[in-house]
């Protein structure tokens, strides 16, 4: 099993907002709440959480990547918000937060069951654990992407699997929650659907160009694709999104459970 060693793209993380990109959590938040955001990245969503919690609330963002935390600390200076370095599988908080959340984080962890157990331990009795994540195996594009990108995407899934990262993370979360002892488990569809003509279409479909750029070399180094195949995928993807792509669907679920 492999640990995540690459840095998530700050451009992608910085574009996200609580209201648009973690909607189920936004609906749960109330002023005065204490919240732990696991895998907070650049803090874009965490800052929205802090605003929702208000001055009487408290929010802690945790991430393993000090470079991303530096961005978070520089760009988000709310008085009720702090950022600290940590890993989802080694959290040492005990019954401290009303809500513990992780968005698009457990997909990069080879032992998500341990991470969920740690998140539960950090949650106060009757508090909520809220996890948003992908099932990459079921992502879809209309029409089908160019063959070079299809080849790359297959290599991306194989590379993830070789590291022990679940390509159906969203689908497996409810059972992981129940196994951790969380109650009242609910799963909510939160698919990211990008349709040509929508204002954010270009921005949202750029995510795979950024994956090609940031992660592609690691997939090549691991032997799942050649440099030439990576180059062909990268050169063809952007023109295809500008001229032919009609719809992109990234499969996401938010799973919520109550701590006992």
Binned at pLDDT 50, 70 and 90, residue 16 comes out as confident
Structure confidence by residue, pLDDT tens digits, 187-207:
999 999 999 999 999 999 999
Rounded CA-CA distance 9/204 in Å is 13
Strands (E), the chain: 34-38, 58-63, 81-85, 97-103, 123-134, 140-142, 183-189, 192-195, 247-250, 252-258
Overall average pLDDT of the 160-177 stretch:
98
| Average confidence (pLDDT) over 27-34 | 98
Tell me, what's the pLDDT at 7?
57
Q: Checking DSSP bridges between strand 247-250 and strand 192-195, what pairing results, if any?
A: antiparallel
Domain borders along the chain are: 10-258
Contacts of 228 (CB under 8 A, 6+ apart): none
Q: What angle do CA 162, 87, 180 make, to 5 degrees?
A: 80
pLDDT, tens digit, for every residue of 60-92?
Answer: 999 999 999 999 999 998 899 999 999 999 999
> Quick one: fold of 10-258?
Rossmann fold (3.40.50)
Task: State the pTM of this model.
Answer: 0.93
Residue (of 116, 117, 121) closest to 102 by Cα position: 116
The reported pLDDT for the residue numbered 6 is 59
3-class secondary-structure state, position 258 = strand
Please provide residue 227's backbone torsions phi and psi, each rounded to the nearest 5 degrees. -60, -40
- Per-residue pLDDT of 94-145, as tens digits, reads 999 999 999 999 999 999 999 999 999 999 999 999 999 999 999 999 999 9
Distance of CA 229 to the CA centre of its chain: 27
Element housing 223 (H / E): none
Residue 13's pLDDT band (cuts 50, 70, 90):
low
Could you tell me whether strands 34-38 and 97-103 are parallel, antiparallel, or unpaired per DSSP bridges?
Answer: parallel
Per DSSP, what are the bridge partners of residue 130?
101, 256
- List all residues 6 or more positions away from 190 whose beta carbon is below 8 Å from its beta carbon: 23, 24, 132, 252, 253, 254
Average pLDDT value over all residues in the chain: 95
| Mean pLDDT value of segment 15-28 | 92
């Amino acid at each position: 099993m492999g640990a995540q060693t690459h840095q998530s793209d700050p451009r992608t993380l910085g574009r996200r907002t609580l209201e648009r990109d973690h909607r189920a959590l936004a609906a749960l938040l109330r002023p005065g709440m204490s919240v732990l955001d696991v895998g907070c990245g650049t803090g874009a969503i965490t800052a929205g959480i802090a605003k929702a919690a208000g001055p009487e609330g408290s929010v802690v963002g945790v991430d393993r990547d000090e470079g991303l935390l530096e961005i978070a600390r520089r760009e988000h200076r709310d008085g009720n918000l702090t950022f600290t370095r940590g890993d989802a599988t080694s959290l040492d908080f005990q019954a401290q937060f009303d809500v513990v959340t992780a968005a698009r984080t457990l997909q990069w962890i080879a032992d998500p069951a341990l991470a969920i157990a740690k998140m539960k331990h950090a949650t106060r009795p009757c508090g909520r654990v809220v996890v948003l994540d992908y099932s990459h195996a079921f992502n879809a594009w209309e029409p089908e992407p160019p063959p070079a990108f299809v080849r790359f995407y297959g290599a991306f899934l194989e590379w993830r699997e070789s590291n022990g990262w679940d390509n159906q993370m969203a689908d497996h979360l409810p059972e992981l929650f129940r196994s951790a002892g969380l109650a009242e488990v609910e799963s909510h569809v939160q698919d990211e659907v990008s349709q040509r003509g929508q204002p954010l279409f270009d921005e949202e479909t750029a995510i795979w160009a950024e994956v090609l750029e940031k992660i592609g070399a690691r997939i090549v180094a691991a032997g799942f694709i050649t440099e030439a195949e990576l180059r062909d995928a990268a050169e063809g993807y952007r023109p295809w999104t500008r001229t032919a792509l009609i719809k992109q669907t990234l499969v996401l679920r938010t799973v919520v459970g109550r701590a006992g």
